[in-house]
């Protein structure tokens, strides 16, 4: 996998415009990929919704998946890095959970090959949800009577409450978190009034400047890939500019932290542009507060271009046109623990 | 007000059985009291819901009203004391927000005379939501375009985003958080099968033992009082027992911390029994993990009685029959901050 991404990187760096021109943007995919071993069912999705919102999935009972991936907002926490149990800070910016079902790998370094794998990460991360072990997590869930009943109904078998099943239920719910078509999608379908003139200029500029080298495909995060594959790019590519130091962009070694191969140093999963308007702050370390500055940084570090103010405005107008609509969701009722509390169990 | 509560305390301590017998429990009130200066409107309730769930109401962007008063669960966090910004701990157990609209005063020490007053407290509490001043709070809300529009529509005027209006909107939403009738209410309406035999024994025991001295009225938290009045009781009344030391029940001086009058030492607002089943842990310091132990502690400290195991079980069965149904609520869509983040503003 690393070899593939490295080879692709070389191709893209040396032929950005050609590659960009050949990779058309498409509309939102019409179907969410569902893994064969975790089919969607209404009861599983509802269970996953409860787990997603349940702060008892964390050691302190204060942090849920939704704390950092807030689906009442944009699927993130809008913070540079997230704040987990005891107010501890993570080291990377929380990606939005909306449309995560379309990503072929999860996390900035692509270390999870599925939503199921991803869901397990924060639960066990000491500065996120802080659960010390799978055993403690499953014991906590087993201590809540309503969950025992639901897991039995959804998964059955002699031991329905397992770490795998917890992750499967959460992933099933996350696969329902898809945004509806954006103004850009309407434009692509023929409604030329869906984009402002600035957005239309931005669209053309994004293609001609070479942004599409990486931000291609229906999600603007690279070509469609089989689940588990990953599409990576070095960031920053060019380090001889003011932004790299100002925003501390080279401190994080990216995918190298997973593979420990030199070729993966500073390699990150290419991020989707969809809904990027509302997921500030930007980059793996969340160091850049505004989208216009993020656009300037990307142009300089990835394409060695210095944009004019008007160009930045146009690009931001185009990116803003990629914001979809968010689903209306009924709150789950979290299972109670009658006459006691889960804490200390 | 303090004089009244103190006089009542004397009456109740010396004539508990008589007082209990004379104060009938009633069914849930059919109407929520609405203050004249804060009428309910759908738009205000919706705005209040957004503010209630918005973590940007806290300094770090991580703690919302819902963090400690979780309406997807029981309106509390089920923790001994709440965990606020930076993982800091509060000093008292978070009361449930469900049916709070019926309380004549708010907080364990009754220091807020309305939901509006209460809503302001946690926002400014350094270990809860940690906002340093009203100016910072209103500036934060003003920095979010969607709120500017909504406050203008709901409140109008030259300066619609004020601390008072923020509190009014939140309080309006909270007045919708009412639980439906419990098995006990159905029993009172004539459905004798609504209570188990154990619950029926517990009901009689609660009356004969003297619990009704304080836990009277439709909410089982004292007689109906005009808003702002408060119904207080000393806790613990009897300190010469193992529980007081074990659960550190006298460390908190209660209402004395507000009035600094000796008569208010260890005086607390009498808590409702409704939904008490699911709001563990118990007491102002959340020191008692289970309802059966809470019942033993109350019998000993307030009535100087040592209950048998069977009596405790019956009382718990009765208390469990006071759990109502919870409303199904659609999640709010929190206003976005396009192309930027509120942090640091």
pLDDT in tens, B97-138: 999 999 999 999 999 999 999 999 999 999 999 999 999 999
pLDDT the model gives residue B344: 66
Lowest mean pLDDT among A7-21, A86-100, B72-86, B262-276: A7-21
Tell me the per-residue pLDDT of A247-288, one tens digit each, with 9 for 90 and over.
Answer: 999 999 999 999 999 999 999 999 999 999 999 999 999 999
Look over chain B and give the mean of its residue pLDDT values, rounded to a whole number: 92
d(CA A209, CA B131): 43
pLDDT the model gives residue B4: 38
Establish if B333 touches chain A: CB-CB under 8 angstroms.
yes
pLDDT the model gives residue A15: 35
Place of tokens 């209410």: B185
Q: Does residue B1 have a pLDDT over 70?
A: no
Residue by residue, DSSP assigns A30-81 as SS----TTS---HHHHHHHHHHHH-GGGSTTS---HHHHSBTTTTSB--SSS
Q: Cβ separation of B328 and A331 shorter than 8 Å?
A: yes
Active-site positions of B read 128
Q: Does residue B8 have a pLDDT over 80?
A: no
Q: Give me A294's structure tokens.
A: 């993020």
d(CA B338, CA A332): 28
d(CA B180, CA B185): 9
d(CA B100, CA B107): 10
d(CA A312, CA A324): 21
d(CA A324, CA B4): 58
d(CA A224, CA B43): 43
Establish if B121 touches chain A: CB-CB under 8 angstroms.
no
Q: Could you say which residues from 270 to 329 on chain B have a Cβ atom under 8 Å away from some Cβ of chain A?
A: 277-278, 280-281, 289-292, 316, 320, 326, 328-329
Residues in A closer than 8 angstroms to B337, CB to CB, are 78, 278, 280
Tell me the per-residue pLDDT of B165-186, one tens digit each, with 9 for 90 and over.
Answer: 999 999 999 999 999 999 999 9
Look over chain A and give the mean of its residue pLDDT values, rounded to a whole number: 92
Q: Cβ separation of B70 and A55 shorter than 8 Å?
A: yes
Residues in B closer than 8 angstroms to A86, CB to CB, are 83, 87
pLDDT the model gives residue A344: 66
Q: Cβ separation of A292 and B60 shorter than 8 Å?
A: no
The partner residue sitting opposite A53, judged by closest CB among B72, B79, B86, is B72
Query: How far is CA A184 from each of CA A75, A142, A192, A311, A322, rounded to the nearest angstrom?
Result: 20, 46, 9, 18, 6
Q: What percent of chain B has pLDDT over 90?
A: 89
pLDDT the model gives residue B343: 84
Active-site positions of A read 128
d(CA A178, CA A164): 23
Counting one residue from chain A and one from chain B, the pairs whose CB atoms sit within 8 A come to: 141
Q: Cβ separation of B83 and A77 shorter than 8 Å?
A: no
Q: Cβ separation of B340 and A289 shorter than 8 Å?
A: yes
d(CA A270, CA A235): 9
Best to test chain A binding among B50, B62, B64 (most A CBs inside 10 Å): B62
d(CA B271, CA A254): 53
Residues of chain A with pLDDT under 70: 1-24, 344-345
Calculate the CA A39 to chain-centre distance.
21
Using only C-alpha atoms, chain B has a radius of gyration, in whole angstroms, of 21
Residues in B closer than 8 angstroms to A70, CB to CB, are 55, 334
Q: Cβ separation of B334 and A78 shorter than 8 Å?
A: no
DSSP classification of residue B262: G
CB A177 within 8 A of CB A184: no
Establish if B70 touches chain A: CB-CB under 8 angstroms.
yes
B204 or A24, higher pLDDT: B204
Tell me the per-residue pLDDT of A77-127, one tens digit each, with 9 for 90 and over.
Answer: 999 999 999 999 999 999 999 999 999 999 999 999 999 999 999 999 999
pLDDT-based confidence at residue B5 (cuts at 50, 70, 90):
very low
Q: Rounded to a whole number, what is the distance in Å from the CA of B28 to chain A's nearest CA? A: 21
CB B205 within 8 A of CB B197: no
Residue ranges and CATH numbers for the domains of chain B are 2-30+182-320 (1.10.760.10), 42-174 (1.10.760.10)
Q: Rounded to a whole number, what is the distance in Å from the CA of A60 to chain B's nearest CA? A: 8
Establish if A77 touches chain B: CB-CB under 8 angstroms.
yes
Q: Is B61 buried (19+), middle (13-18) or exposed (0-12) by CB count in 10 A?
A: buried
Q: Cβ separation of B280 and A339 shorter than 8 Å?
A: yes
Tell me the per-residue pLDDT of B187-198, one tens digit each, with 9 for 90 and over.
Answer: 999 999 999 999
The partner residue sitting opposite A329, judged by closest CB among B291, B331, B343, is B331
Residues in A closer than 8 angstroms to B341, CB to CB, are 78-79, 280-281, 289
Q: Rounded to a whole number, what is the distance in Å from the CA of B279 to chain A's nearest CA? A: 8
Q: Rounded to a whole number, what is the distance in Å from the CA of A95 to chain B's nearest CA? A: 14
Closest CA in chain A for residue B315: A339
Establish if A187 touches chain B: CB-CB under 8 angstroms.
no
> What kind and span of H or E run contains B267?
strand B267-269
Q: Report ipTM for this prediction.
A: 0.91
What residues pair up with B89 in beta bridges, in sequence order? B83
């Amino acid at each position: 996998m690393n070899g593939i991404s490295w080879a692709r990187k070389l191709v893209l760096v040396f032929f950005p415009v050609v590659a960009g021109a050949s990779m058309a943007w498409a509309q939102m995919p019409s179907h969410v990929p569902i893994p064969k071993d975790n089919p969607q069912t209404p009861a599983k999705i509802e269970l996953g919704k409860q787990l997603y919102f349940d702060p008892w999935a964390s050691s302190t009972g204060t942090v849920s998946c939704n704390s950092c991936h807030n689906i009442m907002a944009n699927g993130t926490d809008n913070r540079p890095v997230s704040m987990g149990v005891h107010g501890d800070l993570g080291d990377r910016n929380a990606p939005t959970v909306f449309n995560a079902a379309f990503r072929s790998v999860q996390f900035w370094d692509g270390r999870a090959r599925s939503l199921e794998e991803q869901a397990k990460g924060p639960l066990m991360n000491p500065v996120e949800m802080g659960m010390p072990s799978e055993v403690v997590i499953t014991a906590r869930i087993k201590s809540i009577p309503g969950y025992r009943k639901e897991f039995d109904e959804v998964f059955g078998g002699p031991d329905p409450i397992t770490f795998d099943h917890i992750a499967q239920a959460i992933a099933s719910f996350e696969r329902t978190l898809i945004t509806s078509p954006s103004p850009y999608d309407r434009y692509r379908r023929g409604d030329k009034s869906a984009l402002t003139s600035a957005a239309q200029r931005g669209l053309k500029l994004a293609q001609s400047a070479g942004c599409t080298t990486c931000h291609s495909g229906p999600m603007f995060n690279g070509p469609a890939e089989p689940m588990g594959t990953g599409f990576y790019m070095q960031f920053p590519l060019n380090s001889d500019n003011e932004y790299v130091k100002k925003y501390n962009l080279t401190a994080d070694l990216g995918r190298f932290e997973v593979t420990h191969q030199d070729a993966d140093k500073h390699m990150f999963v290419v991020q989707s542009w969809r809904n990027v308007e509302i997921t500030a702050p930007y980059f793996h370390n969340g160091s850049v507060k505004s989208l216009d500055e993020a656009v300037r940084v990307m142009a300089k570090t990835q394409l060695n271009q210095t944009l004019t103010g008007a160009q930045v405005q146009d690009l931001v107008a185009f990116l803003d046109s990629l914001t979809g609509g968010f689903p209306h969701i009924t709150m789950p009722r979290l299972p109670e623990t009658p006459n006691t509390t889960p804490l200390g169990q």
